[in-house]
Structure 1
Amino acid sequence: MARVFTGLLLTLVLTVLVLPLAVYAGPPVLAALRHEQPARQVVVPSYQQSPVRLASGGDEFPVPAGSEAPAPDTRVLAALLDAELAVDGSGKFSGAVQDALTGEVLYDLDGDVPVTPASSLKLLTAAAALSDLGADTRFETGVHAGTAPGTIILKGGGDVLLTAGESDDDAIVGHAGLQTLADETAAALAERGTSGTVSIRLDDTLFTGASLSPAWSREDVAAGEMAALYPLAINSAWAAEGVSSGPRAGDAALAAASAFAAALETSAAGYGFTVDPVIERGAAAEGADRLASVVSAPVADQVQQMLLSSDNYLAEALARMSAQATGREATFEGGTAAVLSAVSRLGVDTGGLVLADVSGLGGGTEISARQLAATVQAALTSTKNDVRALPYSLPVAGLSGTLSSRLTGTTGTGGTDGAGPSPAGVVRGKTGSLFAVTSLSGFVTDADGRLLSFAFVANGLEGNTAQARAAVDAAATVLAGCGCR
């Protein structure tokens, strides 16, 4: 009887021990018997995992592992990227990848060849605005007393993100409102005992020179890609507020002044004066009394808005403000000179770099993929806190801005069918797209925690822009999955 009991006890113990083993080992054993390979379980590092929501600030972005993380092997990386950066038909790719910490070039595909970057050029404009203006600088739109009785001057100070309504302290577009400005102006005029009809003069003399660049095609201007540039505008001169497409106002400054006049007419009710709807241009006198003012969102917020939405009008305005801040004329030429100078001071070799504009819309710009990648690398490692805001203002793959619907696959070939982690939330970059051009420039923390800056550009495309866009996305996806050893 004791032997039977002992046998039953041993059986029970073996069952307890073997059952968990069977649960874990059974499927691989059965798979092996069926000549199947067990599925590889990918362990995704915490800094590589895609966030479930977009962080509001750069300080929440995944932190790279640092200098102890291994860098990709250049030969392995080249083979992987070369396989992605190719399309059927016309078009030629160039590309550069740098170690953000050391600046070492890890990949170079005609990286020194001048190319047309499209809107990736806005990286340089952002760097100049943050460096020359400062992240916390705000632009003032003011109302000053005119020299003639009953005359006031609406003076533009570089804010092209005004709203016709009330100021919204939580907004970037519409942070400063013309209705709020009108309310303050009406109260100031009433305090001065103003009566009769008030005439408005528009001072838009901050920007000088031509308002339309010869680098822009008439077709692009007609399509609303750009408009005549002025130092005050509602919603980047889009004809309708709350949209970022369609036609733009041909005279954005006068459109803003007209909106202010209408708002002042409303505010004047009960104060005993009316507003002349006819607006003429005229500069405010030196030292003229300021009656009221509103200020824009900080430059850092405007840079983020420019990069997320790829706003051409805002880019050109920020460059002119950079020119003005550095003692240059606030012209197209002054803006391009300011951008070149600022990027050079960051340590980027600007040899051979030619800027036709600062938005990337026009033809004639010549910049290399290495210069684009170097600008990102310089911003990531800059000793200036203001400049370090640039990379963390870039669109996030799969989450925000012009990358919100891109790079949402996994790190296999083509970025869609591999077993690695998704690049969504990991890659940050500035997109660029023209009829014959596509580009993507930015940075990524790879799977080992190494921080990499990159730029991939395709020029000379004919009807295969979508395929080229998929190729640069796939190349960025490869970086997110490295490894690469």
Structure 2
Amino acid sequence: MTEPTDSVEPGHESPERETQQPTRLAGVVASVRRHPRALLYSGLALVFVLLGTGAVFAGAAVGASGSASSATRVADVVPSPTPTVTTPPPRPTPDPVPPATALRTCSVSGAAANRALGTFSGTVINTATGEVLFDRGGTTGVAPASVLKTLTAATGLSVLGADYRFSTTVYQGSAPGIVVLVGGGDATLSALPPGQESVYRGAPKISTLADQVKAAWASSHGADDPITSVIADANLWNPADAWDPTWPANERTLGFQPLVTALMVDGDRANPAAQNSPRSTDPIVHAGAVFAEALGLPSSAVTKAGSAVTDRGAQLGQVQSQPLSALIGKMLPDSDNTLAEMVARVSSTASGSDGSAASLTGVYQATLAKAYGLSATGLVVKDGSGESNQDAIPPTMEANFMVQVGAGAKGLKVIYDSLPVSGQTGTLKTRFTGANAAARGAVNAKTGSIATAYALAGIIHAKDGTALAFAFFAEGRLSGASAMAGLDTVTTAVFGCGNNLSNN
């Protein structure tokens, strides 16, 4: 049986559907009552959707209606300029993080504060790393006493060379019977006879020079033209520039220093075999008299030249000292003032200066900077020996110099090999006693002592195997024995610390 179908005329709702709508409305009302908020939210969402859809259609309509006139408006549009691109500056690069610093715990501040040292200053440098481990006033120039001789040796090695030999020469004079004895700064020329040694072993003999002159004269002159007089010429530098006013006058009479002249014999010592021996009041005339005697002439035959003798004839003879390297081997261990002054003055003349004491600061500064790269700020050189209390060396400069000495760099090994050794050689032979004997044989250093300053500088071979370059200075009106022992104590303390040395 076929199911009956609804037959509804167009434009009229079905009676059944009309009868169902009240029922559905009632369900909606009931749902609203049960869930009022849900319905509110749903309604709002629906409104939002309808509004959005309307806006889309409205936009489409507007676009369609405006398309007819858009072609006329395009020509009126002015294109925007191309924006300029600005490159931001590069960000600053942060500084690199410094490497970690070793924590060192070994202090020598107590030993350095010893009242026996007066005003103490000093610097210690690890020779392998170049690190400054200890510093007290290192950049301020202080009186170095004989530690200055290390810089004198370095200046001489650079300007003159290790093989340089000091000469004493004799020429024929401009008048008959005259010979001219010219000093070249050789303080070692000896008056002792052959077979006898002065404090300068291997020194040339004035008798050898006299024999050369007599033989040369005899070959060119007859018996009726003998040698009758000697002119003693010591004008390599001004002979009047022979004594620094800051030197104690008794240094000459006690035998530590002669008048600094370019012509002398045996360092002008009364006793050529004694390191410290009284000196004369005129080394030039004394040397001339010794030479005249060797020629068979009286001392009255000697005349001292007032200026350099340029009117002279052929060379008649010449003798030379041991090489400079050998003389440094005498100058540093024994702290020989005479040799130091000769090296300083001759270095000045060889560098193009006038050999004066006033020239030394400039000569040393220029040489040490050029040859060894040392900053010479604060360096003052009044003499070659360090006897003046107005000499000045910054401890850091000396310690940096000792770094090179310890390495034997640039020909400086001769200086290291000549440094006294603690408790064993030279001016350190009787030092480093008692508790300081722990460092005996472990310190190669130059000593220094004048009335107002004591010093010690060189290389410490520390207990832990570290090599340390150092320079220690004590200034003031001090007891010499106490000051030297105090310097030994600081040095021994550094020996014990080694690379663990603290700057505190």
- Is the TM-score greater than 0.5? yes
Q: Does 1:280 align with 2:303?
A: yes
Report the Cα distance in structure 2 between the residues aligned to 1:434 and 1:73, rounded to whole angstroms.
38
Q: CA deviation at 1:174?
A: 5.1
Q: Which position in structure 1 is the counterpart of 2:436?
A: 415
CA RMSD of aligned residues (A): 2.5
Which of 464, 468, 486 lines up with 1:471 in the alignment?
486
Superposition map of 1:349-388 within 5 A: 349-381=375-407, 383-385=409-411, 387-388=412-413
* DSSP-derived class of the 1:107 partner: strand
Give 1:76-91 correspondences, 5 Å limit.
76-77=105-106, 79=107, 81-88=108-115, 91=118
Q: How far has the Cα of 1:364 moved from its partner?
A: 1.5
Provide the rounded CA distance (Å) in 2 between the counterparts of 1:87 and 1:285.
58
Alpha carbons of structure 1 residues 151 and 89: separation in structure 2 relative to 1, 3 Å: closer
Q: Counterpart of 2:340 in 1: which secondary structure?
A: helix
2: CA distance, partners of 1:438 / 1:474: 14
Q: Displacement of 1:480 after TM fit?
A: 3.5
1:468 Cα offset (Å) = 1.9
Q: Is the 8 A contact 1:125 1:319 kept in 2?
A: yes
Kept after mapping to 2: 8 A contact 1:74/1:107: no
1:262 aligns to 2:293 (yes or no): yes
Distance 1:302 1:277 in 2: 33
Alpha carbons 2:193, 2:205 under 8 Å: kept: yes
Aligned length: 393
Q: Which runs of 5+ in 2 are unaligned?
A: 1-100
Pairing 1:444–2:430 present: no
Aligned to 2:421: 396
The Cα offsets for residues 115-162 of structure 1, whole Å up to 9 and x where unpaired, read as 211111111111101111111110111111111111111111110111
Q: Distance in 1 between matches of 2:133 and 2:365?
A: 25
* Structure 1 portions without partners, runs of 5+: 1-71, 266-273, 417-421
The CA distance in 2 between the partners of 1:239 and 1:428, in whole Å, is 32
Q: Tell me which of the two structures has the higher relative contact order, counting C-alpha pairs closer than 8 angstroms and 6 or more residues apart.
A: 1
* Structure 1 stretch displaced more, 290-299 or 423-432: 423-432
Kindly report which structure 2 residues correspond to 1:304-319, keeping only aligned pairs within 5 A, or say none: 304-319=329-344
Paired AA for residue 415 in structure 1: N
Contact preservation (8 Å) 2:422, 2:429: yes
User: What does 1:174-323 correspond to in 2, within 5 Å?
Assistant: 175-195=203-223, 196-208=226-238, 210-265=241-296, 277-282=300-305, 283-285=308-310, 288-323=313-348
Match of residue 112, structure 1, among 130, 134, 139: 139
Code of the residue aligned with 1:236 in structure 2: it is G
Match of 1:26 in 2: none
Partners in 2 of 1:296 and 1:128 — Cα distance? Answer: 18
SS class of match (1:280): strand
Paired residue secondary structure (2:264): strand
Once the two structures are superposed, residues 29-87 of structure 1 have per-residue CA deviations (whole angstroms, 9 ceiling, x without a partner) of xxxxxxxxxxxxxxxxxxxxxxxxxxxxxxxxxxxxxxxxxxx977334x1x2222233
Residues 144 and 292, structure 1, Cα contact 8 Å, conserved in 2? yes
Cα displacement (A) at 1:454: 0.6
Give per-residue Cα distances to partners, 1:159-192, cap 9 Å, x unaligned: 0111103567998445111011111212222222
Q: For 1:416-461, what per-residue CA distance to the aligned partner results, in whole angstroms no more than 9, with x for missing partners?
A: 4xxxxx4333211111112232111111222333221111111113
Larger radius of gyration: 2
Write the distance in 2 (CA, Å) between the matches of 1:147 and 1:389: 43
Identical pairs, percent: 34
Alpha-carbon distance between aligned partners in 1 of 2:417 and 2:103, rounded to the nearest angstrom: 26
**AA matched with 2:268:** A
Q: Could you tell me the TM-score, scaled by structure 1's length?
A: 0.75
CA distance in 1, matches of 2:446, 2:497: 21
Counterpart-to-counterpart distance in 2, 1:95 and 1:249: 38
For 1:31, the equivalent position in structure 2 comes to none
